[in-house]
Amino acid sequence: MSACTSTEDRIPRTPTAELRPEEFLRALYHFHGRALLQFAARRLQGDWHRAEDLLQEVAIRALRHAGELDPTTDSARPWLFTVLRNLVIDDLRARQARPAETGDPELAHPQVSDDVDHMLTSQVLFEALWDLQPRQREVLLHVHYLGRSVNQTALVLGVPPGTVKSRTFYASRALREALYSRGLYADGRYRDAG
The pLDDT tens digits for 10-69 are 444 444 556 788 899 899 999 999 999 999 999 998 889 999 999 999 999 999 998 888
For every residue of 134-164, DSSP letters joined together read HHHHHHHIIIIIS---HHHHHHHHTS-HHHH
Q: Is 71 exposed, middle or buried (0-12, 13-18, 19+ CB in 10 A)?
A: buried
Per mean pLDDT, which of 65-69, 104-108, 167-171 is the most reliable? 167-171
Q: Residue 98: its pLDDT value, please?
A: 78
The pLDDT tens digits for 65-77 are 988 888 898 899 9
Q: Residue 180: its pLDDT value, please?
A: 83
Distances (CA, A) of 6 to 12, 74, 123: 12, 12, 71
Per mean pLDDT, which of 4-13, 99-108, 162-171 is the most reliable? 162-171
Q: Residue 125: its pLDDT value, please?
A: 81
